[in-house]
């Protein structure tokens, strides 16, 4: 059974960089697409981007200038960096496997942007 | 970006009711349409992929239909555990986009 677990700071200051890691267990990250998705409190779901472990990435156009997704196959992890954050980036951040549909998701981690 | 529009945004129903939620795409997405269920404080759960394929472990009372731009999720007989928010998502292209959600309430 594939399991995903997000980790990282729950509080980030405005203008700083949000950094999260998703650790995958129960299967390799190689050969799949892995996504980051976020959900502001009380709102809908927004796809941030994904990585295919060969190195191919694709990002939401509205976030592209601030987002980097990377993978570390030796640790079976992938990561998200979002720079120059503002209060609008406050959300629950999820990592998920993307097979067209997201069949495995992490539990999500709330990141609050506040000074 | 492909816009996904769900209706209704919320509905009230009773146990045993047949419930239908619709999702419309702003352009054709063929059959690249998925449905998720999300309960409060939990991650979304994939129910249906590729319009009508049931994810493993999902009860058969859930079904999906449609193609092109118009899609439907049907719950044939609503159960207490089905009260949740449902999202559609297109996986035809990136950026992946979601509907705004339909909250199913008692």
A102 CB neighbours in chain B (<8 A) are 34, 36, 44, 46, 89
Residue A21 CA to residue A99 CA, distance in Å, equals 20
Spell out the residues 6+ positions from residue B5 whose beta carbon is closer than 8 angstroms to its own. B23, B24, B25, B26, B99, B100
Find out whether B92 and B78 touch, Cβ atoms under 8 Å.
no
Using alpha carbons, select from A100, A101, A96 the residue that is nearest to residue A29.
Answer: A96
Output the DSSP codes for A66-110.
TEEEEEETTTTEEEEEE-S--GGG-EEEEEEEEESEEEEE---EE
Query: What pLDDT is attached to residue B48?
Result: 97
Contact (CB<8Å) B94/A35: no
Min CA distance, B60 vs chain A (Å)?
18
User: Each residue of A98-115: pLDDT tens digit?
Assistant: 988 889 999 999 999 999
Q: Cis omega (within 30 of 0) on the bond before A70? A: no
Residue B88 CB-half CA count within 13 A: 35
Q: Does B45 touch chain A (CB under 8 A)?
A: yes
Q: Does B2 touch chain A (CB under 8 A)?
A: no
Contact (CB<8Å) B96/A94: no
Min CA distance, A101 vs chain B (Å)?
6
Contact (CB<8Å) A100/B50: yes
User: Each residue of B51-96: pLDDT tens digit?
Assistant: 999 999 999 999 999 999 999 999 999 999 999 999 999 999 999 9
Q: Does A99 touch chain B (CB under 8 A)?
A: yes
User: Each residue of A32-59: pLDDT tens digit?
Assistant: 999 999 999 999 999 999 999 887 999 9
Q: Does B42 touch chain A (CB under 8 A)?
A: yes
């Amino acid at each position: 059974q594939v399991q995903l677990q997000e980790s990282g700071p729950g509080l980030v200051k405005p203008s700083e960089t949000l950094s999260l890691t998703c650790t995958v267990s129960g299967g390799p990250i190689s050969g799949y697409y892995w996504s980051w998705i976020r959900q502001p409190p009380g709102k809908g779901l927004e796809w941030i981007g994904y990585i295919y472990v060969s190195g191919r990435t694709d990002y939401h156009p509205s976030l592209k200038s601030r987002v980097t997704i990377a993978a570390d196959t030796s640790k079976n992890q992938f990561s998200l960096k979002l720079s120059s954050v503002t209060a609008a980036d406050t959300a629950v951040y999820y990592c998920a496997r993307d097979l067209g549909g997201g069949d495995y998701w992490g539990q999500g981690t709330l990141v609050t942007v506040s000074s | 970006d492909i816009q996904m529009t769900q209706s209704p945004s919320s509905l009230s129903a009773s146990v045993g009711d047949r419930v239908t939620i619709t999702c419309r795409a702003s352009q054709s997405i063929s059959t690249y349409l998925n449905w998720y269920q999300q309960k409060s404080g939990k991650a979304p759960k994939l129910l249906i992929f590729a319009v009508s394929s049931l994810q493993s472990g999902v009860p058969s009372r859930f079904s999906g239909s449609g193609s092109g731009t118009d899609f439907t999720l049907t719950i044939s007989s609503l159960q207490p555990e089905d009260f949740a928010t449902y999202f559609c998502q297109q996986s035809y292209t990136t950026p992946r986009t979601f509907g705004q959600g339909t909250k199913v309430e008692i």
